[in-house]
Structure 1
């Protein structure tokens, strides 16, 4: 069509009115007319076509007013945002590792529920692989010995386990000028991982219990109700909440409000705004009869009031024929498409697109199975489509893969390579005559399994030793054989000693019970024989030869013999003169090297060497100031035998050692060495020490009073204490009346170097706990309640008398439900929105049932004002904060209490409740939770 014509010379100028219909709006400003679209009404009957590349033959369509419904796919979650943003996120699932090194799915957030399946990120797989492993321990079989106290330890894949001192405790070390040391144990400023704590006022008998569910105060007064702040909400126990500060009133606020705020809110006015800065007349929120606005349509817009809605409609016949749809990926590469052409959803990397009726768009993740093999590795199905693995498949592959173990070397039985799966335990056993020691480095976590021989070897048939030069020693039952590299052999057994030369034709040299055979060898250094059975040397033989010529001259004179006492004895040649001793051993057991015949004044005097030389000396008593054993070139040895002739003590002059043989078969050798400098010594230096070596050849240094122990804590300098010195472990309280009679501290050994002092999860017998921060704020928990004092002296208290919030705002109040529950600002705003819900340019609907506020509105607004006044302080892990507030509106008052707790670092839960007393109580409550996580 066309407008009416106007003359160019028209008086007053030419004017055309450009108006919009069916969702089209016009605005004249300056020298231009802007034609726009009402986005709230346009497109009611405009259809959008769409299809997916995986189903290209099927085209779907949906009304713009209905819009596209992006559905969750296989392991994908669809979300939409402002400005046309559509995003599909892959559904991921974390992995957990059990204490025995097995991987699995994490426990569900809700007890009894099933953990959902999902895809696993590369980081989660890497973390799981770094935390799974196999368990190792040490034990013994047969006669084996396991040193120390072995225990099963998890060996992670490439990870190190560090052990720290006990939870919730700190130990400080102080050293005064006199060198006195003191250890002081104290609680951490922030207690963590406690199950519960109970506080009892010894005077009033009131009791406060703090646990993971919250805080409960039990008054000692019979019939008095408990005051609680738990995960289920807040119960004020019929007590009044006072000093509630003004709460923030914003669209997102959950603060409780007080009576003055509610009164001010009810006195506000409301009006509706339209185009061109037009507004309706204002109406007060507390208007008698309720608030009512008439919404009428114009220029193709029609309105209909029905039930609690005002429906605004547009004529869809002609609108949208050339409308284009803008779309982009992550805010980039913007594109447009006609609504009639629609969107075409394509397959992505490991995703497959599909569409359905009613505007449903779905992206499924392409998955590929992964499974373990019999040899401990993992593989995908041959020829399968590449894709992502589910967490369940990854867990199954991890728990059924591992490394192979088998036995090698001198194997008993059959050795079969066997797969050791992640999380399984490998036990290192010590067999007969062996022992195994398990050592765990407390710093690096490295595990060492050291095998060694027992000190006493039993059940052996033989043992052979070979040194670097090729000399061999072979020991069998009753026989010891020494063979050098040249082939010369020495055999010692019960029959004696035999030396065999490797030279062909050489005869053996033997010393046996049957005698001595020199093997055609010269016997050197033979002492002069004395007795008839003594051997004579060449020198004696020559003396006899020289004197034979003189024998005949005196042969008939005979010989006179006389001793120190007795008569003279004359013997003719040929007669026998017996010179006898009292010895009864074999002749080979005697030697004349200590005797000498000396001529003295015509007498032959038999004298004994002042320094006796003998292989052994046996005497019941030795009376002398000194005894020297040994000769030049020969080491001296002193042996003390028992009544049976068995060596008991031997002193060796070669190395100054003392050998001891016990009656029970035990033996040791005592010597001196340069050993550890002692606890006060300088590292790297040595000191003279006594050392004994057991019969297995293992040396042991003997400790002295200069040795001792080193004591260390989480902080402070290590204390060196000698033996018999005292170490004081103190807690800082000397008055026993101030100490709990309950056991709240335990000492746990970590099996390594540490005794960990740990605080009990359930504290008992405490009368109060005071917690202070660096700003000077403090919190005191007693049996009758909790008192929080700021650095300025203001206090907030929750006792059996009720909650005194100290003029502070109570925040994060959950919506109240029961009659005694608190209400929050959201509930207040909801009540107000039931009166009128209109704001800005977009009008969705107006509640036309706001004509009966009356007493219930006053109570609701008062309760909402009280909940708006609730405000929580910042808290840390395992901490909780309580808040209380009061509110009022038009003479109606309400009280609200709230609690917020932090069970974990990234989780916050809160509960709020308000109550308006009267003949008919009105209550509000709210329960909320928040979770913080890393987006990337």
Structure 2
């Protein structure tokens, strides 16, 4: 019943191993609480592979904490790496980490592998390789501190600066009126040698004034350019005649051939299932069979064996044939498949015959029938064939309980059974019969030894095979059976004592039909508690358990569900994606591989830190490039948009200057570039104008040598000149060492001028009594201006004029300007252009108006004194207010502490059914104390309780409480 209980004692009979009542089951520390459904007191179970021990909520919470911890993500740098944001982010299960490809980086995701590489075409603001820097300005060289290396080449939009270094191995540039190519030393040597031959005395000139040459261009007998060109032209004409014949092409020897003239294009086109390619390295045209073939309906494909005599695979419109195997295109069937291996791990194909055998076995199912042993009863024993997907129903008959849990079916007797008649016979043939009329025991011959019915109890003396029932008695509802073990059946207490079977696990245990004792039940409950582990406890036969495996659950079913939920959460893992793409889930124990795809980045990890570095040397391949601003480096070389380029074909200055070129070697075999300075030295400094153009060779004003010589000749004729002294000028002539005349022109010692105008005059020391310039006079007294200012030894007289553009005064003796005066006086003080006078300031102080600083300061002083008195009064008032406030806060704190002490003093009186109980208490808290008294009345049946209490503290009013509690079924 609801008030019943079961206790299983230990072997000594002194302690309860397992207890069961309406509240649940208790075994040791394990409690199966019927009201909460929790199993509490579960000790930590073994967490290891193969462990069958229950775990508790604490252990599961630790697993949950680990699972929910996930992993941490942050950034760091090495070398010249840059980091924006380095906070440590916690990545929890099922959260997504996105790898974003920044500038010049390509991120590729394949499942749980992430590959970080540089892009094929990269764009940088600046690229530094050792001491070489490429940026938006071009190319330059720097030292370890980043400072430009002196006298080093550079390339920019404005041109090429050779940095006072040689440009060597320069291919000869075009020399014509429009050429912008650089020329090399040998070209300049040739030009210089020609000039030398033309102008020098060693020049070989024939009688007609022409240079004489033999075998021009290697053409024998061509001593003139005309002869050489004519012979070359004849050779070219013959070559053209042959070239005009063109080339003849035929297909499979079929004529006529197709004639192709030089300059025309022969196109090697892709044929059916073939691809035409050209290999520039070997100058070879190739036709290759396509990897993917497309045949017409009449086409076919055969693959021969290595000997070329047998067909291994054939493909046509009917399908594919390989040996006995046929893939029939019309039926969609694969035929001729031999039996494949049917075993674990086998990858061999199976045929329909093998599958049919499996199908036959699968369709056989199993058979069902009934039988009996002993006194069992059977109704119907036909053999039934149970085919796949057929349902077998287990029906619970009288006194039978059938329980299904998934694919497990448990058949047991019900807890409460109802029989018309129960007969029990021992191995000697003695029989006990329990029926509606009572119980009868009799021997193997049918002689009744005892009976109990509604008419009374009958016990007969008997002696059978040495077992003697010597005496029996029935007194006051108690039946005592004496023998080796005395049994007492007490109808008042409802107990049967004296049973000797108190242990479990004996050789004949559970085979003799004996009644179980409290001791056996208690041991069984203790065994259950031991198996449950944790805080599972057997308290007098009641098994209890809570917080199973640390899950916070009190039933095994709920605990397993909780563990599964945590395991499922842990198995969610986390998500990884790149560039906002599709996320891939990374499960626990999966590996995310950060790989280097193109060899230009190095991916490394130290612990949980992943570092992606751009390699010192990068290779972007033939199709790759590096771009920084307008500068681009690719497989062809270096180009600057709108500027120079350095490619395999040479250096193109891009219509810019090549500057800072070191002196190149000027010899017949030199290929060095020469600079403007070398040409400039050849022509002389004075031969060039400010733009660097030849304009004044030899001071003649001519831009070419011929005109310069002509000008010199003309000048020589007109070389005579005369110099005549003018006013205030003195001329002295003398002869130079080369015979020319030198004229020295200077001013006379005494000069007469109408006026002198000069920006700056530097005359050393000038001594005079007086200098008069218009209205300005400078004499021994100083400087004076008629009707204007004067500066004398006595001071500066402004002459009633405005002194303007005066800087702000700094020192005590400096003059101040109007701006400073107006700023410092304030109050609207300043010069009035309308009245042509200075406006006095106006100061508003304490309700009054004052026009000078002295009066305003006096009024301000009086206001300060009044304000000081008011502040003093306000301080006194605030001090009193703070004192009152603090006093009230202290009172509130004392009352609060007293209230807490009063609540602590109200003890709970005990619950005793049908009794009045009380409890008294005293408490101290925060400097205050209190006493309390509690009175409780509990109902006779213990199902409700009424309580009341009063407590008084050292401060404040008394506290009173009442309450009622009860039991709800």
TM-score w.r.t. the length of structure 1 is: 0.25
Question: Which structure is higher in strand share?
Answer: 1
Larger relative helix fraction: 2
